[in-house]
Chains A and B, each alone.
Chain A
């Protein structure tokens, strides 16, 4: 999920849709540019200092994300009005994602801490990839990044099918944390506008869990 622009579900018009898509393209573009720079241009002395750059930028970014979360009082007010039962949906999505990732990891021969931490990205690829690259190693971080990009892309394809053949609430599940911005339009289109608030809350709760669960799970001893 791009997470650059925070959008209100009501504002999710075609215009902000385009913004989100631009953001996604810019994110993928800057990783591609970085790849090219690292491969062809930058000398090794500079590359060895990049770690300091990513670390500093990561903590500043986390601080900024925290400010955003702290300011989002409307979400918590809405949650209060809808009753705490609304939390059941993101809790199930989180548990199911982790279980699914753990089983997939078993099939692929990945250790439990890696597969579950990657699954705990819930589609927020920029944050989960960087967190794991920073705390654990770059290879697993790259896998987390690609996995969560894939989750977002698969969500766009699968949500209409899930909404139609499986269920309305089930259609909120594939998007994970992304149902608060990038994939919210797809979810509401497939399930109806009354699901917008539920999907938005579910995405917000899952987004809040990412910076907590990913570092916790990757540190688990296997």
Chain B
């Protein structure tokens, strides 16, 4: 866990203070490249894992339940606070004027 946070934190520092003062497109291309290399490698690991391939059907089912559950949970909570959020935003907008 710590290395993950350190990698992100280092990036934030570099980005915030413009320590690599080059075109933004370059980091974008760089991250896209890393992403594809990683997805290819991850896909290959999955493809070579026969137990996992056999489980793919049940994984899909579990994924749907989890995705639907997260959506329902988040919508419910926001729904409860809907009028409160609207009022607060209205207030901060009026104060801003």
CB within 8 Å of B: which residues of A?
Answer: 3-6, 26-27, 30-40, 42, 44, 47, 50-51, 53-54, 57-73, 81-83, 85-86, 88-89, 92-101, 103-105, 107-108, 110, 115, 118-119, 122, 126, 129-131, 133, 135, 138-139, 141-143, 146-151, 154-155, 158, 162, 166-170, 172-174, 176, 198, 211-212, 215-216, 219
Interface range for B: 35 or more
Q: A100-B72, A130-B42 are in contact. Are A71 and B66 (CB under 8 A)?
A: no
A66 touches B59 (CB 8 A): no
Chain A residues with Cβ under 8 A from B78's Cβ? 89, 92-93, 96, 167, 169-170, 172-173
B64 contacts across to A, CB distance below 8 A: 150
Digitize B63-89: 1 where CB-to-A-CB distance is under 8 Å, 0 elsewhere.
111111111111111110110111011
> Which residue from A53, A62, A149, A162 sits with its C-beta under 8 Å from B4?
A62
**How far is the CB of A162 from the nearest CB of chain B, in Å?**
6
Given the known A-B contacts A35-B47, A54-B45, A71-B24, are A64 and B12 also in contact in the complex, defined by CB atoms under 8 Å?
A: no
Interface residues of B (CB under 8 A from A): 1, 3-5, 7-18, 20, 24, 27-28, 30-32, 34-49, 52-53, 55, 59-60, 62-79, 81-82, 84-86, 88-89, 92, 95-96
Q: Which residue of B lies closest to A115 (CB)?
A: B66
Indicate which residue in B41, B55, B81 contacts A92 across the interface (CB closer than 8 Å). B81
